[in-house]
Amino acid sequence: MQKLKLVVVGNGMAGMRTVEELLKIAPDIYDITVFGDEPYPNYNRIMLSPVLANEQTIDDIILNSREWYAANNIKLHTGARINKIDRKNRVVYAENGTSAEYDRLLLATGSKPFMPPIPGKELDGVQGYRDIKDTNDMMDAAKKYKHAVVIGGGLLGLEAANGLKIQGMDVTVVHRNEWLLEKQLDKTAGKMLQKNLEAKGLNFLLEKNTELINGNQDGRVSSVRFTDGLEITADLVIMTVGIRPNFTLAESAGIHCNKGIVVNDTMQTYDPRIYAVGECVAHRGISYGLVAPLFEMAKVCATHLANFGIGLYKGSVTSTKLKVTGIDLFSAGDFSSNEDDGREEIVLHDAVGGVYKKLIIKNDKIIGGVLYGDTTDGSWYFQMLRDGKPIHEIRDHLMFGQDSLGNTGHLGQNKAAAMTNEMEVCGCNGVCKGTIVKAIQDQGLFTIDDVKKQTKAGSSCGSCVGLVEQILASTLGGGYAPPSTSKAVCGCTEKNHEEVRAEIRTHKYLNIPDAMKGMGWRTPNGCATCRPALNYYLLSTWPHEAKDDPQSRFINERVHANIQKDGTYSVIPRMYGGVTTANQLRKIADVADKYAVPMVKVTGGQRIDLLGVKKEDLVDMWADLDMPSGYAYGKSIRTVKTCVGSEFCRFGTQNSTQLGIDIEKAFDHMWAPHKVKFAVSGCPRNCAESGIKDVGIIGVDSGWEIYVGGNGGIKTEAAQFLCKVKTAEEVLEYSGAFIQIYREEARYLDRTVHWIERVGLEYVKQRVLEDADCRKAAYERLLYALQGAVEPWGERVKNKALSKQYEIIAV
């Protein structure tokens, strides 16, 4: 088939990100040609500031080398400015005489520094700060001249000023407003920032309007004069008063523009063959000047270029950081104070310690914030802001940061900055901080997924993802945007977990192929991430009706044993409540002898583990054992740990052992989003460790206390108190209802703690405690789902067809 022709105008960050996204999902449908008027391949414009500050070199910041274009069969024309689009014949023409035909055209022409109409602005030595050439010009000027004036005290201006100072110049920043960064900071933070920058040797002139730039006889700038009459010496003037979307080309081709190239939510211009992304566009009236929104646009645009016809760009909330080493500043959202409309402010100000934090809250949600001096919680606040997360439960601690909440959430500790390069970040894959930082810089990584892919850090148990995120944020500065928590299930679909669950329910999908077809899966049969999730969602939504697909289960659940590093398996029989008998122990001992089991071990969950069993021996061994499966391998009910309790213990107030047995029997065979562990202790001494279980139950004189959302694993989480009930029947009903709602609503691979983290304990209480009908109905649904469940080991002992997969074919 003849490939379509895609032409990209603008070889910058947004355009090339779109191409990268496109290559990922549809590598073969286009012949791609790229025109860029700069003489370089795509580079990381953000990093021009570190280059000017001598922290990096131009070579460090190239994102896509010429070899990359060649390897992806992309025709690259550098130093080639497009000055005409012939929409009728679908051809673009470059100033240097080159031309190219297109079927689809992508405009990504970025923006230009705004040069205000001040007399003298055309003199030598008056320039903007936008590209490599500007940066080189500044560095050259610094070698020859002394006095630099930066007009405009915004982010770009301050980074330029800081860099020029480091290049050895005397720098004065001129700003029209009363304080710096007035768009990002309130006055208090703005003044603190100014003080810190003054300490670094920068000079400031605030509330000044530039009237005139004077030149010398060589035509080079010599001084700058303000409206109040003050005049200062200047050999170099940098204009950083704003940027203007670069849409002249689009406009000259008759494409509708209004302060930017107007695009719809699918990133199409008024000519449907022509797309636009990046700083040059006006989307819903807004033009963005930061990379995070541009990358979101790129993703959406790529899906449409790939003909998937999915994905809408709905605008972005942005956050900013200032990339001046030694200064920590973060701001996001709407932070102006305006008490009339129900806004509340929380402010923490330590003038001596140089820390200032302000959060703006409206309707129980964070809508904006400024952090100065200590920005470690910036990503955390920003994430809550983007997700619109209710905050009343943590409001008391909000200001003191994520660490003050104890261990809630797997978002990691704020220690990235304090770590040395040799310190290990990812224990699973042995990746240290230096490796991650280097990968981010050398390979131009922007997202956690990129870092996971390239370095493997965070790709296994996930406990270090929070730390990786901080390293990413501190390495990238403002270029980092935390992912929203409602992301797609995997690369096979745009839909997130909640959307998938909802569609399975409304369309009543009963098997994976129908579900994938109905929801427009991009891949013929998914991947190792989405298939297990889909299988679980089908089974939990339509018990007894949906078809279980063993091939979509992880090996352990497929063969009902836990795979070991050498390909052997472990066998853990059920011992309800951790109680066993002499007879069971004898059987286990015999089996261990007969099959020469290399290790017999008592587990942390109070069961017995036979380790190192060959796959082909499993079925025979189960037949000899004649005990039920302990499900120690499944995303399922695991163990109910118990203590001795009132039957024997001198402190016991309740029969915890019996209740544990009853629970384990009642909920046996239960699949869940992740493993589910219970514990029952007979008194508050809590010998069964109920405080770190998904459901922990503690006997007290007058009944039972129920705790939920505990976790003893990767990150220890104490369970939270749910309620107190009188009888064992009530324990079953309340905890069963809790687990059922978790089964129906949590994302696959969420432990209970992660689910509660997201929906809030209030929500759980409301469904399980306050709404008795809801509780009873949920409990009923759980019992219905478990009705007639078949014990898997016995089933395989009986059924030859099922046991075939355990046989090895000898040749």
Partner 1 sequence: MSNWVKVAPLEDIPQLGARVVRSKEIEIGVFRLQDDRIYAVNNKCPHKGGPLSEGIVYGDKIACPLHSWKISLVDGQVEEPDVGETACFKTKIEDGIVYLELKD
Ligand X SMILES: Cc1cc2nc3c(=O)[nH]c(=O)nc-3n(C[C@H](O)[C@H](O)[C@H](O)COP(=O)(O)OP(=O)(O)OC[C@H]3O[C@@H](n4cnc5c(N)ncnc54)[C@H](O)[C@@H]3O)c2cc1C
Q: What residue ranges bind ligand SRM (CB under 6 A)? A: 562, 564, 570, 572, 601, 603-605, 607, 609, 611, 632, 638-639, 641, 675, 677, 711-714, 751
Q: Sheet of 74-77: strands edge to edge?
A: 74-77, 30-35, 4-9, 104-107, 274-276
Rounded Cα–Cα distance for residues 75 and 34 (Å): 6
Three-state SS for 68?
Answer: helix
The two three-digit tokens of residue 803, written as one number: 């046991």
Task: State which residue, 287 or 570, has the beta carbon closest to ligand SRM.
Answer: 570
> Could you tell me the CA-to-CA distances from 130 to 17, 239, 296 in Å, in that order?
19, 10, 22
Unique residue bearing structure tokens 């839909």: 495
Site string for partner 1, 710-729 (x = CB under 8 A): --------------------
Q: For residue 238, what is the enclosing H or E element?
A: strand 236-239
According to DSSP, the β-strands at 147-151 and 236-239 are parallel
Name every residue whose Cβ is closer than 8 Å to that of residue 462 and which is 6 or more positions away in sequence. Answer: 410, 714
Rounded Cα–Cα distance for residues 13 and 293 (Å): 11
129 is a contact residue toward ligand X (CB under 6 A): yes
Q: How far from each other are the two terminal CA atoms of the chain, in whole angstroms? A: 44
Task: State which residue, 82 or 457, has the beta carbon closest to ligand X.
Answer: 82
Residue in 6, 8, 12, 241 binding ligand X, rule: CB under 6 A: 12
Rounded Cα–Cα distance for residues 451 and 475 (Å): 12
According to DSSP, the β-strands at 74-77 and 30-35 are parallel
Give least dist CB 121 to ligand X, A.
19
308 is a contact residue toward partner 1 (CB under 8 A): no
Q: Which does 601 bind (CB under 5 to 8 A by kind): ligand SRM, ligand X, partner 1, none?
A: ligand SRM
> Could you tell me the CA-to-CA distances from 770 to 177, 741, 750, 760, 775 in Å, in that order?
54, 14, 24, 15, 9
Q: Which does 604 bind (CB under 5 to 8 A by kind): ligand X, partner 1, ligand SRM, none?
A: ligand SRM
Residue in 479, 652, 660, 710 binding ligand X, rule: CB under 6 A: 479
Give least dist CB 320 to ligand X, A.
7
Among the residue ranges 243-251, 405-413, 453-461, 755-763, the one whose residues contact partner 1 (CB under 8 A): 453-461
Q: Which does 165 bind (CB under 5 to 8 A by kind): ligand X, partner 1, ligand SRM, none?
A: none
* 8 A C-beta contact, residue 570 and residue 609: yes
Q: Which does 163 bind (CB under 5 to 8 A by kind): partner 1, ligand SRM, ligand X, none?
A: none
Task: State which residue, 18 or 222, has the beta carbon closest to ligand X.
Answer: 18
Residue in 85, 238, 290, 731 binding ligand X, rule: CB under 6 A: 290
Task: State which residue, 155 or 504, has the beta carbon closest to ligand X.
Answer: 155
Residues 511-550 binding partner 1 (CB under 8 A) are 523-528, 531-532, 550
Task: Locate the DSSP E strands across 376-466.
Answer: 424-426, 431-432
Task: State which residue, 80 or 640, has the beta carbon closest to ligand SRM.
Answer: 640
Among the residue ranges 7-15, 530-538, 585-593, 763-771, the one whose residues contact ligand X (CB under 6 A): 7-15
Among the residue ranges 42-50, 138-146, 396-404, 497-505, the one whose residues contact ligand X (CB under 6 A): 42-50
Rounded Cα–Cα distance for residues 215 and 427 (Å): 61
Residues 34-93 binding partner 1 (CB under 8 A) are none
Task: State which residue, 286 or 714, has the beta carbon closest to ligand SRM.
Answer: 714
Task: State which residue, 110 or 573, has the beta carbon closest to ligand X.
Answer: 110
Cα–chain-centroid distance for residue 11?
27
Task: Locate the DSSP E strands across 486-598.
Answer: 562-563, 569-571
Rounded Cα–Cα distance for residues 557 and 638 (Å): 13
287 is a contact residue toward ligand X (CB under 6 A): no
Site string for ligand X, 56-95 (x = CB under 6 A): -------------------------xx-------------
38 is a contact residue toward ligand X (CB under 6 A): yes
Q: In 3D, which of 301, 243, 246 has the Cα closest to residue 82?
A: 246
Q: In 3D, which of 427, 266, 411, 302 has the Cα closest to residue 29?
A: 302
Q: Which does 712 bind (CB under 5 to 8 A by kind): partner 1, ligand X, ligand SRM, none?
A: ligand SRM
Task: State which residue, 78 or 413, has the beta carbon closest to ligand SRM.
Answer: 413
Give least dist CB 688 to ligand SRM, A.
9
The size of the chain, in residues, is 811
Q: Which does 279 bind (CB under 5 to 8 A by kind): ligand SRM, partner 1, ligand X, none?
A: ligand X
Rounded Cα–Cα distance for residues 389 and 163 (Å): 38
Q: Which does 562 bind (CB under 5 to 8 A by kind): ligand X, ligand SRM, partner 1, none?
A: ligand SRM
Q: In 3D, which of 157, 325, 121, 130 has the Cα closest to residue 240?
A: 157
Phi, psi (deg, nearest 5) at residue 150: -105, 120
Q: Which does 129 bind (CB under 5 to 8 A by kind): ligand X, ligand SRM, partner 1, none?
A: ligand X
Rounded Cα–Cα distance for residues 151 and 158 (Å): 10
Rounded Cα–Cα distance for residues 216 and 461 (Å): 65
Three-state SS for 190?
Answer: helix
| Sign of torsion over alpha carbons 158, 421, 480, 22 | positive
28 is a contact residue toward partner 1 (CB under 8 A): no
Task: State which residue, 470 or 690, has the beta carbon closest to ligand SRM.
Answer: 690
805 is a contact residue toward partner 1 (CB under 8 A): yes
Q: For residue 541, what is the enclosing H or E element?
A: helix 530-541
Task: State which residue, 305 or 572, has the beta carbon closest to ligand SRM.
Answer: 572
Give least dist CB 419 to ligand X, A.
22
Q: Which does 550 bind (CB under 5 to 8 A by kind): partner 1, ligand X, ligand SRM, none?
A: partner 1
Task: State which residue, 3 or 804, has the beta carbon closest to partner 1.
Answer: 804
Task: State which residue, 99 or 584, has the beta carbon closest to ligand SRM.
Answer: 584
Rounded Cα–Cα distance for residues 124 and 136 (Å): 15
For residue 803, count other CB atoms closer than 10 A to its CB: 19
Query: Would you tell me which residues interact with ligand X (CB under 6 A)?
Result: 9-15, 35-38, 45-46, 48-49, 81-82, 108-110, 129-130, 156, 159, 246, 249, 278-280, 289-292, 294, 323, 477-479
Query: Would you tell me which residues interact with partner 1 (CB under 8 A)?
Result: 453-454, 456, 460, 523-528, 531-532, 550-552, 554-555, 558-559, 563, 565-567, 804-805, 808-811
